[in-house]
Amino acid sequence: MTTLPHTSAKNATTRTAPTAPPSPACHTQGCTGKKPLMTGCAAPGHVKDLGPTHRTSTGARLAFRYGTQCRAAWAMLWNAKVKVGDTLELSVPGNKPQQVEAFDSYEAQGPLITPMLDGTDLSGLRACFEPVGSRHTECFQPYP
């Protein structure tokens, strides 16, 4: 038997297959009001964009996301144009709207992410952005 230089049981490395991501902490209605990052719903490879990215009047970007394992939706707002006091609300008819506000400069550096909504029926899904100090609310839908 031939032994390769610098190999032995003492310094051998073992390779293991990557493990699957943990199951998300919620599904559908159970996700309502929860944070997608904290529940595992935003796990890489399990998030789908709902429609194109939108641009607000302040230059911030807004996108709708859907967690395929959780079957829940959320909206996110990002860009250096997000300011302390800006609010983002996600709603679908028949359900309680979910809102997030940038309370400090850390949150304003973003992204600003709404709590989730049940993604079973996303008919009428919309996100409304209200910049701080503005009386004008901009609303967007995932698909024009």
**7 pLDDT above the threshold of 60:** no
* Per-residue pLDDT at 4: 46
Task: With cut-offs at 50, 70 and 90, classify the pLDDT of residue 24.
Answer: confident
DSSP 20: P
| pTM score of the predicted model | 0.81
Contact 65, 75 (CB under 8 A): yes
Interval 71-115: pLDDT, tens: 999 999 988 778 888 999 999 998 899 999 988 877 667 789 999
User: C-alpha angle with apex 92: 51 to 66, nearest 5 degrees?
Assistant: 40
* Per-residue pLDDT at 2: 52
12 vs 106, residue with greater confidence: 106
Contact 24, 67 (CB under 8 A): yes
Residue linked to tokens 């993604």: 119
User: The tokens of 133 are what?
Assistant: 């100090």
| Strands of 98-101's sheet in order across | 98-101, 87-91, 126-130, 138-140
* Per-residue pLDDT at 18: 53
* Of residues 54, 47, 44, 53, the one with CA closest to residue 21: 44
Residues with Cβ within 8 Å of residue 49, at least 6 apart in sequence: 63, 64, 65, 66
Give percent above pLDDT 90 in the chain: 60
Taking residues 57-69, report their average pLDDT. Answer: 94
Taking residues 39-43, report their average pLDDT. Answer: 94
